[in-house]
């Protein structure tokens, strides 16, 4: 069996993808056999499940993004628990902390994040974590509440190599995307080269952060191969070795 790729984070439920059949087919033609679609708020829960159930290699996650934290209600959390019984729901997320856009409701973000950590532990599902300019608080909440009970995926990792090593010490996976293909992304290059392969995951974060050579255009799951190619070059290993290792990590993290 030829090695395949897994896009562990792809928002193909968004309006940008009115050609979803072609997008999924294009991914398969690029050896991307599995795609995980995370939700960001209550309004997207049912849609990501619908998409995951329509396509064989597509899975989903249910969660509330930190920028949506002020709108979150107890009913939303109950809905996550209810809908997570679907066999295609493999994680909780994306959830976490984001201090980039607005720091006026940090406490609300923390409460909503903690609630989703608790749900992931209760349901024994992986946790997909969004951390933007909130490294210390995000790490402290994870380290203080999870204790290796569930897989943790640090989506679109943007911290330092030192922070990556701290995450790995706690068993967290590091997910890298299109940024690693940018020439000036020294921090991402360093992390891609140095972290142990058994903690590395690939993602696109489509439709955002499109890798070279398509930077500036819509991102899609097929383009995760450019991320894999760049990381394999940086590490000095074959594309096949990188694909096999990261796909094995994804299978382990998400049970897919």
DSSP string, 147-206: TTSS-EEEET--S-HHHHHHHHHTT-EEEE-GGGGSTT-HHHHHHHHHS-GGGEEE---B
Q: What is the pLDDT of residue 99?
A: 95
pLDDT at 1: 61
Instruction: Return the exposure string of 172-194: e unless at least 16 CB atoms fall within 10 Å of the residue's CB, then b.
Output: bbbbbbbbbbeeebebbbebbee
Angle ∠(104,112,48) on CA atoms, nearest 5: 115
Give the span between the Cα atoms of 84 and 90, in whole angstroms: 8
**Residue 58 backbone zone (phi > 0: left; psi -120 to 50: alpha; other: beta):** beta
The pLDDT tens digits for 149-207 are 999 999 999 999 999 999 999 999 999 999 999 999 999 999 999 999 999 999 999 99
CB of 210 closer than 8 Å to CB of 219: yes
Q: How far apart are CA 77 and CA 193, in angstroms?
A: 38
Query: Domain with 232 in it: what CATH number?
Result: 3.20.20.140
Whole-model pTM over 0.75: yes
Domain containing 61: what range? 5-254
Model pLDDT, residue 2: 75
- Residues of the chain below pLDDT 70: 1
Which pLDDT value is given to residue 107?
95
Beta carbons of 246 and 228 less than 8 angstroms apart: yes
Q: 126-132 and 152-155: which strand pairing?
A: parallel
For the chain, the domain total comes to 1
Distance of CA 51 to the CA centre of its chain: 17
């Amino acid at each position: 069996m030829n090695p395949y790729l897994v896009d562990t984070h792809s928002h193909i439920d968004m309006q940008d993808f009115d050609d979803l059949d072609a997008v999924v087919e294009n991914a398969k033609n690029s050896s991307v056999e599995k795609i995980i679609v995370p939700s960001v708020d209550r309004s997207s829960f049912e849609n990501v499940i619908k998409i995951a159930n329509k396509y064989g290699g597509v899975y989903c996650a249910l969660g509330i993004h930190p920028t949506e934290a002020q709108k979150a209600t107890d009913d939303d959390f109950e809905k996550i628990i209810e809908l997570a019984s679907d066999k295609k729901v493999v994680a909780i997320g994306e959830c976490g902390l984001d201090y980039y856009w607005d720091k006026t409701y940090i406490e609300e973000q923390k409460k909503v994040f903690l609630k989703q950590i608790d749900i992931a532990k209760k349901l024994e599902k992986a946790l997909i974590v969004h951390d933007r300019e909130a490294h210390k608080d995000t790490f402290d909440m994870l380290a203080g509440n999870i204790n290796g009970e569930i897989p943790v995926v640090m989506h679109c990792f943007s911290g330092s190599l030192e922070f990556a090593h701290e995450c790995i010490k706690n068993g967290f996976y590091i997910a890298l995307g299109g940024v690693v293909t940018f020439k000036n992304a020294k921090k991402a290059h360093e992390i891609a080269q140095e972290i142990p392969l058994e903690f590395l995951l690939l993602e696109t974060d489509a439709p955002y952060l499109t890798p070279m050579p398509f930077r500036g255009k819509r991102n899609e799951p097929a383009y995760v191969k450019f991320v894999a190619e760049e990381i394999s070059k940086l590490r000095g290993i074959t594309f096949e070795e990188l694909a096999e290792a990261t796909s094995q990590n994804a299978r382990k993290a998400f049970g897919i």
